[in-house]
Structure formats: C-alpha cells, structure tokens
Chain A
Amino acid sequence: MSDVLTFIISRFNYWIYIVLMMIGLYAMIAKRNYVKKFIGMSIFQTAIILFYVSTGVKSGATIPILEHGHDIGHAAAAINPDHYANPLPHVLMLTAIVVGVATLGVALAVVQKVHDQYETIEEPEILFKLGQE
C-alpha cells in the first residue's frame, strides 16, 4: 500500500496535469455550450503548460538568476546547476501561453460571429438551425 502511495506522491505533478487535461477534454467533448467547450480547451492547454513548468523544478533550488553574473565572467564552471531551477521549460512556456491566449481569443471571436448569425451558442441549437437552412 505504501508503495502505491509513494508512487502517486512522488509523481504528483504528473497526476495533476493528467487530471486537469482530462477535465479539459471532458469539457470539450461533453459540454454543449461553445464558450464552455473553449474554456475546456484552455484548461487542456494550461495542463500541458503546468506539466512543462513542473519538469523544470528541483527541490531546494532557486530562481535561475546569477547575482553579479557579469563580475564572475568566465568562472561559470563554479556554478552548480543543482542550485537553480531549469529555466528552459519555463521560457518555452512563455511562448505556449501566448499561443494559448491567441487560440482562445480567435475561438471566442468566432463564437461571437456564430452568435451574431444564429443567435445561440449551444451546439444542438446551431446544428438544428443549420439543418433548417
């Protein structure tokens, strides 16, 4: 039993990202309201962002900024990477956040256009009105 608990707890960041991802996927598939669907899409993307960010973390490490780095010069070999969180996944996720925001923005703009056309944002009602055309 304790093995299972250790297995879960030692990888809790992965469990959380998978749960969040499934919540997003559920919303995208099961919700009928398009705004809810797209918020689900945003949760889905955020889950992946959290996954990346959590991979850069090290226990007991600090933010990857060198104090007075320019004074050290080429003595960079003295820096122990274990003392600093891995900045690369975090930097990548800055781009992914921008992508996510842009996607959500485009999606909601399209929802607005659909609402202007069909006066509803519920999927079944849109499909019904499309069937009538």
Chain B
Amino acid sequence: MSENLPFLVIAAPLFGALVASLVGWARPRYCYAIAMVSLAAGLTAAIALLVKVSGTVSGYEYRLGGWPPPIGIQHWVDPLSALILVVITAVAFLAVMSARANLQLELPGKERFVYPLMLLMVTGLSGMTLTGDAFNLYVLLEITSLSSYALVAIGRGRAAASCLNYIIMGTIGASFYLLGVGYLYLKTGSLNMIDLRQIMIAGDMHGSQTVITGFILITVGFWIKMGLYPLHGWLPNAYSFAPHAASNLMAPLMTKVSVYVSLRMMLSVFTPDFLAVHALWAQTALLVATIAIIAGSLIAYSQTDVKKLLCYLVVAEVGYMAGGMWLMNRAGITGTIYHIAADAFMTCCLFLGASGLIASTGSRHIRSFRGATRRMPWTFAAFLVGGLSMIGVPPTCGFFSKWFLIQGAIEGGAWHFVAALIFSSLINALIFFRIIELAYFKDVEHEDDVSHPPQVQRNEAPWGIRIPLFITSVVIVLLGVFSPRVINWIERFVDSVGVT
C-alpha cells in the first residue's frame, strides 16, 4: 500500500471524477460527498507521502506499471514535490468544500458537471507535480487546462466570452512547451527528466542551440500559463467571470503549479550551472518580473470589482515567484518555493472570502464591504487574515516569503526587484486598508448619523463557505508560525540541487 502512494494521490481524484460523473446522472446531490471523500483520500495520501519522504535522503522514485525509466513513466517524489503536493491537495480540499454553497446560489442543477471537472483538474495538478516525464507533463497540463476551460465556460454572463481568449492563450502556452520538449528530445533522445539532465551533462550539450531554443520555448510557454504580466491577458477575465466555485479552485492552484513546473525544469532538468552561463536571461526575467509586480499592483489598486482586484493581485504575486526563481541563490529559491505554498493559501483565503461576501450581499462591487465588520464580523476577519498576509504582516506566512525574497534579491544585487517587492507591499496595504475603512467606518445606511448606530442585521456568509475560510486563515497563520520548519524542509531540497 505505502509504496503505491504516489499513484494513489492521483488515482483518488481521478476515480472520484469517474464515480461522480456516473452517479451524478441519477443522484446529483451525492456528487459533493464523493468529491469530498476522494479529495480527503488524496490529501491523506499526500500527507503520508510527505512523512515517508522525510525519512529518505533526497526522495524516491515510483515506476508506473513497474517499467524502468527511461522507457517507463517515472514519478519522482522529493521534498519539493511532496510539499507542493500537500499544498495542492489541501487547497483543493478547502476550495471544493466551499463549492456546494456557491453552486446552490450560482449554478443550481450543474453539480454533476462541476464536481467531476474539479476532480479532473486536481488529478492533472497533482500529476504535474509528481511526474518525472516531460511528455507526460504535457498531457497532464492539458488535462488540467481542458477541465479549467470547461469550468470557466460553465458560468453565467460573460464567463463563456472570456473563456475564448483563455483557450487560445492556454493552448499557445502548452504548445510552446510541447515544442520545447520536442527540441530536447531531438538532441538527447530521451523524455525522462532525470535522464535528460544526465544526457545533457554527459554530452556537454549546454551550449547547443537546440537545447537553448528548447529551454526558451519551455520557459515562455510557462510564462503564458502562469500569467506573467505582458502575457497575463487571459487571467483576470477568466478567473473573475468564472463561477465562484471554480475560481476558488483555479486561482490559487493553476498559476502556482505552473511556477512549480517552471522551477522544476530550471533546477532539475537544466541545472543551475546551465542558467549561470547565460546571465542575460536572468536579467531579462527579473526585469519582466519587476514590471509584472508593479503593473499588477497598480491595476489592482484601480479596480472596483472585488474579484477583478484579487485577480490582478494574483498577477502581481506571479511576478514575485517568476522573479524569485531567477535570483538563483539559496535565499531567493527558498523564498520562491515558500511563496508558492504561502500564496496558494493566501489566494484561496481571499477568493473564499470574496465569494462569501458576494454570497451574502449579492454584489461584487468593493462598496459592498461597507459595514462588513458589523454585518459579517467573522467572515470579514478571516478575509482580512488573507489580506494582511498579502501585505506581509508577521506572523502570517506572507511576511516570511517576502523576507526571503528580499534577502535573495539583495544578495543577488537586483535592487529594482527589491524596490518592486516593497512597492507592491505598500500598494497591497493601501488596497486592504481601504477595504478595512469601508468595512469598519462606513455603515450600510445612516452614514452621517453616528450618534444612533443603526441596528444592522447579521448577514454572515453561508457556513459552507465560512468553515473552509476559517480553516484557510488558520493555516495561513500556522504556516507563518511554523515557518522555520517549512524553510528547513525547503532548504533540504535547495541544497540537494546545488543552488548556493
């Protein structure tokens, strides 16, 4: 049983999707229970995997069907993939937990389509995290993308129209990746990631034009997939018009997993030595990331639609990670990996909070936060934990990731990146203090009548949204409080790939 854990993590949501779509024909209301059970199984397997990896030196491999690599497909479990896997399954569990309440309000009667699609998406995301085969990764990437296209398009209003550009951009991104893998295959004759690295080192191919072209295609492909600023066009519309149930799952996970895969390619396939040779790339990538952070923050500040605002915050956060991984020093990479985990929970918390707000007020304008401290004190407090973490207030996890990123940027001499990180924190502070002001100081009615505080009706978000929201906000604080342990864990990986 325990040696098959890397397969169970993927098989649980996949099997759940199959069962949910079959049962959904006859009994749609069972879909939620099936989804929760299969995700709980996936989360349990992922935690067991983390415990198992902690007992090994640098992880272990799992051979699908017993075929030895490079012929068979290999799953590679190391401290990094085990950590990201736990984050993915935990966030997915929380996001799907909130889906029931959201779907009842938004898309009643569509449960039997939404839950299987969500489970398929989680299957693809966990598979992308574990797989050690470059082509297998493409297939899992497309499984994830196809289910997310469908999840966006199932929404009402502008959802379908905003999905069209998402499909085009997403396909270009994935095709670039496929083409890049093709170039690597031409040169090395292998698709297994570890094999690719060994062949490239043994054959001294790091100077080869083919390998360089392949690397650039793969990097740009994932830049599109993660929504880095000039290539982010699809992200805000797709995520803000998608059904809340879907965007709670997609916004925290899709971009983070793309960042993770990009990092995996850079560190485990191409090695830091290869990247160190081409110093110009790091400079370019850091510049793009700096622009992404500044632009994302500024556009977010100008938004009045709550979900649009959060989407542009995601764009800025992607800049943090896309820049951090190119710092190529110990603190920078550690900060990036920690930020992948932290940002997944932060984004999840904010999107859950926003969907709770929209569920209870029916409006997505930022003005609907008015009087929120009296109308929905608990929902708002939990939402605010996510906001404070975005700003980077200790002891939330957002503080520690920013700390490491800034430390890495100073060590690497990337002062413009330091400036962008601090600028983005300030803008985030402005955004969230504006929301606090609206929530605390402005009432729904009687704005001027301070002497007679009106009787405000309690109007908290539904329990189905509030419970996952509370859990997420607690996790954000816990991740911050226990950050030394998490950082130690990440540094084990960073040291093993030879980043200094």
Contacts and interface: CB of A to CB of B under 8 A. Distances in A.
B182 A55 contact: yes
Interface string A48-72: 1001100100000000000000000
Contact of A92 (B135, B161, B163, B168): B135
Contacts of B168: 28, 37-38, 41
Main secondary structure of the interface of B (DSSP, over half): helix
Interface in B350-379: none
Interface residues of A, number: 31
A29 to B, nearest CB: 9
B186 interface: yes
Interface stretch (B101-109, B171-179, B302-310, B406-414): B171-179
Contacts of A102: 142, 146
Main secondary structure of the interface of A (DSSP, over half): helix
Interface string B197-214: 000000000000000000
A106 B139 CA distance: 16
Nearest to B167: A107
A126 interface: yes
Contact of A114 (B135, B149, B161): B161
A84 interface: no
A117 B160 contact: yes
A111 interface: yes
Contacts of B171: 41, 44-45, 103
Contacts of B164: 34, 37, 107, 110-111, 114
B150 interface: yes
Nearest to A106: B149
4 cross-chain pairs, A with B, having the tightest CB-CB distances, nearest first: A113-B160, A110-B153, A99-B142, A107-B167
29 contacts: A28-B168, A37-B164, A41-B167, A41-B168, A44-B171, A44-B175, A45-B175, A48-B175, A48-B179, A48-B182, A51-B179, A55-B182, A55-B186, A89-B185, A92-B135, A92-B191, A99-B139, A99-B146, A106-B150, A106-B167, A110-B153, A110-B160, A111-B164, A113-B153, A113-B160, A117-B160, A117-B161, A118-B161, A130-B158
Interface of A: 25, 28, 34, 37-38, 41, 44-45, 48, 51-52, 55, 89, 92, 95-96, 99, 102-103, 106-107, 109-111, 113-114, 117-118, 126, 130, 133
Interface of B: 135, 138-139, 142, 145-146, 149-150, 153, 158, 160-161, 163-164, 167-168, 171-172, 175, 178-179, 182, 185-186, 191
